[in-house]
Amino acid sequence: MALADSDEITLEELQLAARNHGMPLEALRYPLTPVGLHYLLTHYDIPAVDPASWRLEVGGHVERALSLSLDELRARRHVRLPVTMECAGNGRAALSPRPVSQPWLLEAVGTAEWRGTPLRPLLEEAGILAGAVDVLFTGLDRGVEADVEQAYERSLSTADALRDEVLLAWEINGEALPPQHGFPLRLVVPGWYGMASVKWLGRITVLDHPYEGYQQRSAYRLRQVEDEDGEPLTRLRPRALMVPPGVPEFMSRRRILDLGPCVLEGRAWSGGDPVVSVEMSTDGGSTWAAAELAEPPGAFAWSAWRFEWDASAPGEYMLCCRARNGAGAGQPLEALWNLGGYANNAVQRVPVTIRP
Ligand SMILES: Nc1nc2c(c(=O)[nH]1)N[C@H]1C(S)=C(S)[C@@H](COP(=O)(O)O)O[C@H]1N2
Ligand SMILES: [Mo]
């Protein structure tokens, strides 16, 4: 990934940002993000898929290849699971120098209730052969990245692919998947950054060797320099975000609040161990106090939190919130830089003006 030589966003980045919208942070109010407000990230174009002729092909290193229509998939056992999904690039635009890609601020997140059939029984029916290593998920969208034309595809280790919560989903919040979220079928990998949840799924291939494609080997790894192997991105780091309080000034979007008590609220998530605490600071991170944390609507979905604040003097304040998970992982005060601009879960800072 190239690095920006200026802090100013380019027209190419704007072109990506206009296609791939974020979730307006006031939508943190909803436990399930209304479909049109869920963030979107599509590397190439949204493919046109004819549901009548579409089939999911399952093959590779298996005893018997399968080919399933949408009706056949929908007739299988299905579950509904609320899942918080976040793009690995969320927070990228705050890094300096800025990795040039989709310039997310903080909005690349949303929680949807997916309906689908668990992947595991399907893989068991196909019969994974001894020596299988990875399971590859191939989307129907194509484009050029790093000078190579490719389908969007990502793999999971067989162990990760066989986890109970991994779904093949055809519904979001009770509606058929809309084109932009992967119609007619997508993979949902709960707890993982969004890149794992392949949309417009066409093929599942069990491999007897590690998958080395672009989105696995080159993208979505934490590296400081280009020729380093780097850690692959997997589960969501803990993060808390707040509903922007008060009212915004139109251009700067700076928040303006009235003097007196107010409730600050938001959501917090973590893709590994669940969130166990959320703290608020009203002085830019010098002092912190515990927020109230509610039970999440599911093991892979965000938790609501709230904090009563008495803004007792007019002036300028810097509100911050941070989450910590059960394994003790938290959020850094300053962003940790990496070449791809991934997994920047630095604490959110919201400057506010209390007017008399
Ligand atoms: N086929 C396909 N699947 C994809 C992508 C894509 O470009 N093509 N983008 C991935 C990325 S990077 C993210 S963050 C999520 C976004 O899912 P959403 O657009 O439904 O929110 O989809 C993932 N699945
Ligand atoms: Mo992403």
Q: How many CB atoms lie within 10 A of CB 13?
A: 18
User: In terms of domains, do 185 and 258 share one?
Assistant: no
* Predicted local confidence at residue 175, as pLDDT: 97
| Model pLDDT, residue 305 | 98
Distance CA 179, CA 297 (A): 26
How many domains does the chain divide into? 2
Q: Which ligand is nearest to the CA of 109?
A: 1
Q: Domain check: are 139 and 85 in the same one?
A: yes
State which of 232, 248, 280 marks the end of a domain.
Answer: 232
Average pLDDT of every residue of the chain: 97
**Confidence band for 99, pLDDT divided at 50, 70 and 90:** very high
Residue to mutate, 20, 37, 42, ligand 1, most ligand atoms under 8 Å from C-beta: 42
In the three-class reduction of DSSP (H, G, I as helix; E, B as strand; rest coil), residue 71 is classed as: helix
> At 166, which CATH number?
3.90.420.10
**How much is the average pLDDT of 244-270?**
97
Residue 292 in any domain: the answer is yes
Hey, what are 281's tokens?
């600071």
277-331 pLDDT per residue, tens? 999 999 999 999 999 999 999 999 999 999 999 998 999 999 999 999 999 999 9
Say which residue the tokens 């980045």 belong to: 13
3 belongs to a structural domain:
no
Could you report the per-residue pLDDT of 103-119, keeping only the tens digit for each? Answer: 999 999 999 999 999 99
Question: Of all protein residues, whose CA lies closest to atom 12 belonging to ligand 1?
Answer: 195
Same domain? For 40 and 176 the reply is yes
Residues 258 and 192 both lie in one domain: no
First-to-last alpha carbon distance for the chain, in angstroms, is: 47
The Cα 200–Cα 217 span in angstroms is: 21
Q: Which atom of ligand 1 is nearest to the CA of 87?
A: 14
Same domain for 172 and 36: yes
Asked if residue 5 belongs to a domain, the reply is: no
Q: Which of 105, 95, 353, 117 is nearest to 249 (CA)?
A: 353
Structural domain of residue 281, as residue ranges?
Answer: 239-355
Predicted confidence at residue 1, as pLDDT, reads 80
Residues 280, 282, 285: CA angle, nearest 5 degrees: 75
Q: Which two tokens stand for residue 314?
A: 């007019």
Peptide bond into 121 cis (omega under 30): no
The CATH number of residue 329's host domain is: 2.60.40.650
Mean pLDDT, to the nearest integer, of 24-39? 98
Mean pLDDT, range 43-63, rounded to an integer: 97
Q: Which of 85, 199, 200, 215 to mutate to test the pocket of ligand 1 (most atoms within 8 A of CB)?
A: 199
Q: Which of 83, 90, 76 is nearest to 123 (CA)?
A: 76
168 and 111 fall within a common domain: yes
Which of 216, 232, 248 is at the close of a domain?
232
Under DSSP, is residue 95 helix (H, G, I), strand (E, B) or coil?
coil
pLDDT tens-digit profile of 280-292? 999 999 999 999 9
Q: Tell me, yes or no, whether 2 lies in a domain.
A: no
User: Do 186 and 128 contact (CB within 8 A), yes or no?
Assistant: no
pLDDT over 90 at 189, yes or no: yes
CA angle 102, 198, 25 (to 5 degrees): 45
Which of 212, 232, 252 represents a domain boundary (last residue)? 232
Task: Quick: pLDDT tens for 163-177.
Answer: 999 999 999 999 999
What would the pLDDT profile of 194-248 be if each residue is shown by its tens digit? 999 999 999 999 999 999 999 999 999 999 999 999 999 999 999 999 999 999 9
pLDDT at position 137: 98
Q: What is the pLDDT of residue 312?
A: 86
- Does residue 152's CB lie within 6 angstroms of at least one atom of ligand 1? yes
Q: Is 107 in the pocket of ligand 1 (CB under 6 A)?
A: no
> Does ligand 1 lie within 6 Å of residue 186's CB atom?
no
